[in-house]
């Protein structure tokens, strides 16, 4: 309900708010899905919303949150280790995960900082779950890695804007 005297201004404000809400939700959803094996890029959505003038701080927070939750779903699948699910939903073979065993034990949850890397990131997340890496350090390093990636995309977008 709008308590402002100018009804047109209220409609404009409500419409702007709803568009922003849709944009942030769309970014969250695309970042969540992009952290799975679905071929989707949250980077493109983030870049587009940056170009439309949305707040970079909130875009990075929303993208990081969605992408981290998506990454944690791969970790959880590994933790639960239902190989039928892992193979079906992530396309990761049991042998590939076990080939990472020495790396997971050697580098531990530091690998979580690289879960965002295309093609191998999901494999890292699954392996961290399979080998029961502690969830809190995995969450922290995964979040840092994903946030750094989105911050880098933001800075690259400012470079593109400067060059144009």
Do the domain assignments include residue 2? no
- Quick one: tokens of 157? 């977008």
Do the domain assignments include residue 14? yes
Question: Could you give the number of structural domains in the chain?
Answer: 1
Do the domain assignments include residue 1? no
Calculate the average pLDDT of the chain: 83
d(Cα 28, Cα 64) in Å, to the nearest integer?
8
Tell me which residue range forms the domain holding 95. 7-163
C-alpha pair distances (Å), 157 with each of 6, 39, 132, 154, 161: 38, 22, 37, 5, 6
Do the domain assignments include residue 150? yes
Please report, in angstroms and rounded to a whole number, the separation of the first and last CA atoms in the chain.
Answer: 42
The pLDDT value recorded for residue 31 is 93
Do the domain assignments include residue 60? yes
Do the domain assignments include residue 27? yes
In the chain, which residue ranges form alpha helices assigned H by DSSP?
Answer: 7-34, 42-51, 56-80, 83-85, 94-99, 101-107, 121-130, 135-163
Do the domain assignments include residue 12? yes
Q: What is the pLDDT of residues 101-114, one digit of tens each?
A: 888 888 877 889 99
The pLDDT value recorded for residue 10 is 54
Residue 37 has pLDDT above 90, yes or no: no
The overall pTM is greater than 0.75: yes
């Amino acid at each position: 309900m709008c308590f402002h005297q100018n009804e047109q201004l209220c409609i404009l404000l409500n419409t702007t708010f709803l568009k922003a809400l849709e944009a942030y939700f769309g970014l969250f959803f695309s970042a969540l899905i992009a952290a799975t094996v679905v071929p989707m890029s949250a980077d493109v959505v983030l870049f587009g919303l940056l170009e439309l003038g949305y707040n970079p701080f909130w875009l990075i927070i929303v993208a990081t949150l969605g992408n981290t939750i998506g990454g944690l779903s791969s970790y959880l699948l590994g933790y639960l280790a239902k190989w039928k699910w892992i193979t079906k939903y992530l396309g990761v073979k049991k042998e590939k995960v076990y080939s990472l065993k020495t790396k997971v034990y050697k580098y531990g949850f530091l690998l979580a900082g690289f879960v965002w890397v295309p093609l191998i990131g999901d494999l890292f997340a699954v392996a961290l779950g399979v080998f029961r890496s502690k969830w809190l350090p995995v969450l922290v390093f995964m979040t840092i890695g994903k946030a750094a990636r989105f911050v880098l995309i933001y800075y690259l977008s400012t470079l593109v804007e400067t060059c144009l």
